[in-house]
C-alpha cells in the first residue's frame, strides 16, 4: 500500500551549478518524486511554483543561483515498482558501456523505456530500482517498445542537457538495421518527405507523409538483398515519430513485422520464419561529448539473427 507523503511548509531551493540550463518542469519531476506530472504542470500554471519570486512557464531554463519556491504538497507516495528478477538480469546483461556520465544499453525488444499507459514499469524505473546510486539517472532519448538497440541514459544533469540538445539539433548519428518487404533495387536512396502525426481515438499515433508536416530525411542503404526481403541500413538525419517505418512504407518496402504500416501477408510469411516482432534495430550511435568521441554498436539479438539465417534458405 502507498504511504502518504506530506511535504509541510514552503521549500526554497537554490539551484546548484549542475542544474544550470535544466527546464523547471524536469527539475520539479526530480525534486517532487511521486507527484503526478499533471499536478506539477498545474502548480506552474497557477504560479504556485516561482523562481526568484516570479512566475515561470514549464520551459523556463534554470540559472545557477536561482531560488525555486515550492509550495506545501500532500500526495500519495507511490510504491517502488516490483521488477521481476529476470527483467533486472536481462537489463544488466544488456549494458554496452558505463562510466560516470553515461549508461548505454542494447535495449531488448518488448520493453518500454518508461512506465505508464497500463505499464507498471519501464526500463528507466527498473534501472532505478536496481541501482539506487547514482542519484541521477535519466533517459536521453526514447526507442519504441518494439524497437531494440542502442539506448542512452545520462548519469548527470549536464550530460543529459548536452545530449538532449545534440539530439534536438540532429548532431548525433543514428543508424538502424531494418528488414523490408521485397527486393530493394534503389541502391542508396535519401528520402526527403515531411511527416504529420495524427492522434487516433484512444491516443494512438498514426503518421503519414504530408506536405503540411515536419521535415523528415532518411538515408537507406542496402546490406543484403533477396527476392522476398531485403536488409537495409537507415541513417536518420531527423528524428520524427515512426520516421523509418513510414518512409520505407512510402517507397513500397514496409518493414517486416510492422502491424501499423506494414503488409499483413508479408508479416505472416515472416512469422513462418520465426519473426514475432518488428524488425527494427538501432545498431549504432556516433556522437561527441565534451572533447571525447563516442561510437556505440549494439549486436542483433538471437531472434533477429536466426531470422536472417533462415532467409538464406527461402521456401
**Three-state DSSP state, 72:** coil
Q: Is the dihedral of CA 101, 240, 263, 230 positive or negative?
A: negative
- 3-state secondary structure (DSSP) of residue 96: strand
Four-CA torsion 188, 206, 148, 140, nearest 10 degrees: 100
Catalytic residue among 5, 144, 146, 301: 144
Q: How far apart are CA 56 and CA 50, in angstroms?
A: 6
Instruction: For residues 63 and 49, give the distance between their C-alpha atoms in angstroms, rounded to a whole number.
Output: 16
Dihedral angle sign, alpha carbons of residues 92, 94, 100, 101? negative
Q: C-alpha cell of 148? A: 531494440
C-alpha pair distances (Å), 14 with each of 5, 17, 27, 56: 22, 10, 12, 16
- Whether 5 is a known active-site residue: answer no
Pairing of strands 205-209, 217-225: unpaired
Residues designated as active site: 144
Amino acid at each position: 500500500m502507498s504511504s502518504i507523503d506530506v511535504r509541510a511548509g514552503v521549500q526554497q531551493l537554490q539551484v546548484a551549478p549542475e542544474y544550470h540550463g535544466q527546464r523547471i518542469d524536469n527539475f520539479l519531476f526530480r525534486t517532487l518524486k511521486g507527484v503526478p506530472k499533471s499536478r506539477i504542470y498545474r502548480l506552474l500554471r497557477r504560479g504556485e511554483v516561482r523562481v526568484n519570486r516570479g512566475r515561470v512557464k514549464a520551459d523556463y531554463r534554470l540559472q545557477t543561483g536561482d531560488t525555486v519556491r515550492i509550495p506545501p504538497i500532500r500526495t500519495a507516495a507511490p510504491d517502488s515498482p516490483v521488477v521481476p528478477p529476470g527483467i533486472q538480469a536481462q537489463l544488466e546483461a544488456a549494458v554496452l558501456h558505463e562510466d560516470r556520465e553515461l549508461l548505454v544499453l542494447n535495449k531488448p525488444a518488448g520493453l518500454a523505456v518508461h512506465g505508464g499507459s497500463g505499464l507498471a514499469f519501464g526500463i528507466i524505473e527498473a534501472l532505478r530500482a536496481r541501482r539506487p546510486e547514482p542519484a541521477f539517472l535519466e533517459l536521453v532519448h526514447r526507442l519504441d517498445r518494439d524497437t531494440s538497440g542502442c539506448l542512452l541514459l545520462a548519469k548527470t544533469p549536464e550530460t543529459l542537457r548536452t545530449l538532449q540538445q545534440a539530439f534536438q539539433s540532429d548532431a548525433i548519428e543514428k543508424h538502424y538495421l531494418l528488414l523490408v518487404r521485397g527486393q530493394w533495387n534503389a541502391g542508396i536512396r535519401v528520402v526527403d518527405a515531411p511527416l504529420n502525426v495524427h492522434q487516433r481515438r484512444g491516443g494512438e499515433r498514426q503518421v503519414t507523409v504530408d506536405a503540411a508536416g515536419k521535415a523528415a530525411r532518411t538515408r537507406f542503404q542496402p546490406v543484403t538483398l533477396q527476392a522476398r526481403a531485403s536488409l537495409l541500413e537507415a541513417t536518420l538525419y531527423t528524428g520524427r515519430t515512426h520516421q523509418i517505418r513510414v518512409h520505407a512504407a512510402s517507397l513500397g518496402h514496409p518493414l517486416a513485422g510492422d502491424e501499423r504500416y506494414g503488409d499483413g501477408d508479408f508479416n505472416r510469411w515472416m512469422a513462418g520464419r520465426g519473426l514475432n516482432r518488428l524488425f527494427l534495430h538501432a545498431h549504432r550511435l556516433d556522437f561527441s561529448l565534451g572533447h571525447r568521441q563516442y561510437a556505440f554498436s549494439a549486436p542483433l539479438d538471437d531472434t533477429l539473427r536466426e531470422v536472417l539465417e533462415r532467409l538464406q534458405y527461402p521456401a
